[in-house]
Amino acid sequence: MALNKDFLWGGAVAAHQIEGGWQEGGKGISIADVMTAGDNITKKPRRITDGVLPGENYPNHEASDFYHHYKEDIALLAEMGFKCFRTSIAWTRIFPNCDEEQPNEEGLKFYDNVFDECLKYGIEPIVTLSHFEMPYYMAKHYGGFRNRKCIDFFVKFATVCFDRYKDKVKYWMTFNEINNQADPTPHHLVQEGAILAEEGEDLEYVMYQSAHYELVASALAVKAGHEINPNFKIGCMIAMCPVYPYSCKPDDVLAAQRFMQGKYWYTDVHVKGKYPNWLPKKFERKGWNMDITNEDLSILKEGTVDYIAFSYYMSFAVEANEANPYYDYLEKDFVKNPHVKASDWGWQIDATGLRYALNWFSDRFDVPLMIVENGFGAYDKVEADGTIDDSYRIEYLSNHIKAMIDAVDNEGVNLIGYTMWAPIDIVSASTGEMDKRYGFVYVDKNNAGEGTLNRSKKKSFHWYKQVIATNGQNLV
């Protein structure tokens, strides 16, 4: 057997994409609640509105209504044999604005119920503390993580959760895909740092400064968590899209290496507790006066993570570009890779890239790895008899699982779990669509928000059940 018998097979979601109930149980408004629906066909992007405005379509308000369906949904996960289920705790259910003295008991109770329901079936809950759903109030009134004060709000939120669920949850992660903001677009800054970009700001500077505060907040949370329960495993969460050189031209190879540095330095800070050498050089070159104190640097050292969780969907390719002489990480420099196909959303499908990613992490960091997202967003068709043949999803997942097993079997990668994204159809984070589906379980709801919210099993539901039952031996 390539995989350990305790291997954590499961699936992953995020509160804002599945729960709905945006105003129930005393919940406050999160940044996801002010994001409108986009559309892949017309290429309409999601917009961030100034508060919740009448007449706009906010898909996360109802999402898949897990808030009211969690028992039914968790029973379906149990039927597939899930060993674990990754979800996030919506920060605004616990601290609706971020700066309250006391947490919201009704919000805490909701997650007690969810975790108890998982544990009833022997499913281990795995929890992300912050998954693109920081309080809108924090962004609006404090400027999000560009403000050092927000470190305290996060640490308080984390500590309340650690304390409350210390006997129910062992695996935690702090900030989901903290490195998505490497290319600091306003959308990325809102999702990752809850920062509403202001006119004329240097977004790159804002990103590095606020990412520093987030990394300090993460390290403080790791320290606090270990004090509350020394058995906790607290990880970081990195969006891994390997960047390949477009050609073997030396400048392309260097560009790819520099892009990997630009996208993955967050992992160095989380795991090694220090900045890589190239970053202080960059701050100097830019003439930025960074607020990074000696005390911060000690905190980063003391609060290193126990494992690396990462998502993997696709790979990128880059060509050296004279207009980018320092090889700063900018997504506009990416080029299409002619050797791989892409999904309907243009995401390049590359199972070998997952094996590459596992080896890349394994060579650099001596901590266990967990794949906490990997999946295939696609348009699904419900046949007249109600069945859904999503063989394309099975093909994507089985190729990636095969690559993952090869990395463990052949290269000795220390991998402890795999939670595919997302076992139940949910709202897409990038486009706000329901019709970009990832699930084994179909949710009857479309982009316009119409549907019964009924759940039904796709072909892949039965496939994943036997993947888990055979510990990844039977992938067909």
**How far is it, in rounded angstroms, from Cα 176 to Cα 191?**
10
Spot the catalytic one: 177, 192, 204, 433: 177
**How far is it, in rounded angstroms, from Cα 252 to Cα 258?**
10
Please list, residue by residue across 139-173, b when 16 or more beta carbons sit within 10 angstroms of its beta carbon and e when fewer do: bbebbbbbbbebbebbbbbbbbbbebbeebbbbbb
* 430 interacts with ligand BG6 by CB under 6 A: yes
Please name the residue that has the structure tokens 């795999």: 418
* 311 interacts with ligand BG6 by CB under 6 A: yes
* 428 interacts with ligand BG6 by CB under 6 A: yes
CB atoms within 10 A of CB 47: 13
**How far is it, in rounded angstroms, from Cα 110 to Cα 187?**
29
What's the min distance (Å) between Cβ of 424 and ligand BG6? 12
Candidates 14, 127, 216, 415; binder of ligand BG6 (CB under 6 A) is: 14
Asked whether the beta carbons of 345 and 310 are under 8 A apart, the reply is: no
What's the min distance (Å) between Cβ of 422 and ligand BG6? 7
* 161 interacts with ligand BG6 by CB under 6 A: no
246 or 266: CB nearest ligand BG6: 266
* 177 interacts with ligand BG6 by CB under 6 A: yes
132 or 361: CB nearest ligand BG6: 132
Spot the catalytic one: 62, 192, 373, 433: 373
Binding to ligand BG6 by CB under 6 A, coded x per residue (else -) over 231-250, reads --------x-----------
* 373 interacts with ligand BG6 by CB under 6 A: yes
What's the min distance (Å) between Cβ of 313 and ligand BG6? 6
Stretch that binds ligand BG6, among 108-116, 321-329, 422-430, 466-474 (CB under 6 A): 422-430
**How far is it, in rounded angstroms, from Cα 370 to Cα 234?**
12
Q: Is 468 exposed, middle or buried (0-12, 13-18, 19+ CB in 10 A)?
A: middle
Q: Give yes or no: 19 in active site.
A: no
* 400 interacts with ligand BG6 by CB under 6 A: no
104 or 431: CB nearest ligand BG6: 431
Stretch that binds ligand BG6, among 115-123, 325-333, 428-436, 449-457 (CB under 6 A): 428-436
- Tokens matching residue 287: 């003439």
Q: What angle do CA 376, 377, 381 make, to 5 degrees?
A: 110
Q: Give yes or no: 331 in active site.
A: no
What's the min distance (Å) between Cβ of 452 and ligand BG6? 22
195 or 429: CB nearest ligand BG6: 429
Residue type, 344: D
Q: Identify the sign of the CA torsion 149, 309, 304, 207.
A: negative
What's the min distance (Å) between Cβ of 304 and ligand BG6? 22
Q: Which residue, 451, 417, 421, 466, is CA-closest to 124?
A: 417
Biggest alpha carbon distance in the chain? 65
* 429 interacts with ligand BG6 by CB under 6 A: yes
Stretch that binds ligand BG6, among 222-230, 329-337, 427-435, 466-474 (CB under 6 A): 427-435
For residue 347, what is the DSSP state?
P
Active site residues: 177, 373
User: Which residues contact ligand BG6 (rule: CB under 6 A)?
Assistant: 14, 17, 132, 176-177, 239, 311, 373, 377, 421, 428-431, 436
